[in-house]
Amino acid sequence: MTTKTPKRLCQLSLSGSLLRSLPQSLLYLFILFFSTYGYAQKVVNSQLIDVRLEVKLDNYLAVASESEAQAKVLLEDIIAQVTAETPLITRVRALGYRASELAYEEKFTQAYALLDRLKQASEQAQVIDAQAEVLASRIDFMVMEGKRGDAFLRVPRLERLLEKTQTARIRYYGHNLLSSIYVDWERFEPALQHLLQAQQALGEMNSSLNEGRRLYLLSRIANIQLSLEQWDAAILTVEETVPEAIDKGYQGLAYDLWFSKYYAEISLGQLEQALRSLNRAYQMAQELEASYQEVIILNNFGDTYLRLEQFDEAREHLLEALDKAEALGFDGMLSTINFNLGFIAVKQGDSLGIKQMEEAVANFRETLSNSQLEMALGELAEAYALVNDHAAEAQILRERINLKERILTQSQREKMSELQAVYKSRDDAQQIELLQKQNELKEQIIKNSEQQRIVWILFTAFAAVCLVLVFLLYRKSKRANQQLNRANEQLADQSLKDPLTGLWNRRALQERMLERARSDERSQDGLLLLDIDRFKQINDRHGHAGGDKVLTELSKRLQNICRDSDILVRWGGEEFLFYVKGIKQSSLLQLAERILRTVAEHPIKINGELISITTSIGFIELPFADLSEHQVDWERALQIADMALYTCKARGRNRACGVTELLVDYDTARIALEHDLNQAMNNNWITLTVIEGPQQ
């Protein structure tokens, strides 16, 4: 079971599907059941398949949906009938299923060895369809093994093979796989494009399960809408799909749809509707005897009732979840449930609940990823605030800020590395393709020249017409290239913008800073890092839609302050960053004060309620304290501003803080500047300027 998220929202990102609670081998067979069963469509390479064995392989997948043990016996019987004379596509399919079973038993060395033999046979026979299926299986195994970077490197080649693949079954499987990979990479536009191509392949397949495949594609679209935070669209997709899934008997798919609807509704703050959807998901889990999933849902019930401040209901469901988890040995959920029970105790005034939450967090530090731990620390800080232990709250907030920065830095490096590798692979492929086209063009030119010579001798007028046609084709080609260049420019601009606010994103700032580093002339600039105060409370009370409204409204206000030469960036979550060119220290202080006033002067109306908004700001000059930027580059300076921002939070929020003077050499104060400004101030190493925000 992979559901180990400590967030009270209860395993949504990792356990929002019943499929993910099943054993891995059953999960894979379920996917194959929807992607390959009923291989009865017409195949152009008919001499490369064995119809009799194809029917048996279809039957294997049907049996696998009912009994894993029987399916294994059936597959062994099929493989015993496969010989070197078996048509290649059928042989690749049968042995590919065997490799899949090995991979899901974590016998990856044997699985890859089997794929290597199939790859060699496919390339020797020059059968594109077989090559595509072998490569898709290899990518699938790499993702399972956690080798995401190696898997991404092979994506461009699979895309090129699928363009030439004739077998609809293989195209359906390949495009579904690529869609999942692009979703994992948070590139949702190509993910949707591959789903559409899978749908086109589905239209060429003739099977009684096509209806189930269509519903499966709709559920994938709903999941992408959730990833894009298109909550209303996701709810509409689910409402249109789930009745048909239930009617057709796809209970597992129906469960996944109900859980997706619950996730969207709770994100919108529609708690009563979310409870109804969660109840339907719970009924499905009981019908499917999915005991582990029942534990997760009971925990989610507890979370939702906690949000409604119905503490008795919340505790009742969490205690039931605790009993079931202990009986199942579901250790991954025990700490999460105890964490939530402790939070209820704190909410009801029992400070002993803090101890229960601390013990759970101690376990989380050993078992969870940084991103999951960061969410748990946020709730622990909230609990410390409720019991007025502000020293502990400040310590946890500091840890959370540092952890969040590490998460963002690590994620950025991983994404950039993967992006560079994929683009390098694409560029190499495009160079090869370009050379091939150039050779083809040269050969065509030679042929055309000979033809034109003959035509010129015989029919001069006809040659003139040919030249006109060539000119028209050239102009059409040039126009198409211009349109392609414009489209590429638009895509490049979109990659530098935040989709919610329309502001520049991190990548845009990094490119600007690279330009600044290359420039011989550098001005005195400034960095101001903003964080909206108590933004999590706004999200909890008004849902993500309310939080999004606050972000977009503040973006408009901040843009009115921003000069043409400045850059305003959505830095992440509720954080914004000003990069201000050519500004003196006195003007930087005035700008910080103006931002505080602009953010706070007008409340924002959410769901009929006026919400007062304030912000905390950490600011710094660049270069810092007249130091060389080789010694303190913009990223180190921003880290100091981040610590100043943390100091604002610790001093009560709604203010701006900045290190405006360094009183000792940098090496003496470096560690304190990056990790503990209080130490630097106590040692009289720095001057910290504080600007109070307007009174609320």
Provide the Cα torsion 246, 248, 253, 256; round to 10°.
-20
Provide the Cα torsion 348, 352, 354, 356; round to 10°.
-110
Angle at 228 between CA 225 and CA 232, to 5 degrees: 50
Check whether the bond before 23 is cis (ω within 30° of 0): no
Q: How many helices (H) and strands (E) does the chain have?
A: 28, 8
| Cα distance between residue 258 and residue 252, in whole Å | 10
Q: Which one of 379, 393, 574, 575 is the catalytic residue?
A: 574
Provide the Cα torsion 541, 543, 546, 551; round to 10°.
110
| Cα distance between residue 267 and residue 661, in whole Å | 44
Tell me the CA distances in angstroms from 694 to 86, 311, 533, 611, 660, one per residue in order: 80, 37, 14, 15, 22
Beta strand 655-662 with 615-622 is parallel
Q: For this structure, is 574 an active site residue? A: yes
Residues pairing with 692 in the sheet: 655
Instruction: Provide the residue type at 339 as one letter.
Output: F
According to DSSP, residue 229 is labeled T
Radius of gyration of the chain (CA): 30
Distance of CA 309 to the CA centre of its chain: 31
> Residue holding tokens 């029987």?
70
Provide the Cα torsion 491, 495, 497, 502; round to 10°.
50
Contact call for residues 89 and 48 (beta carbons, < 8 A): yes
CB atoms within 10 A of CB 547: 24
Active site residues: 574
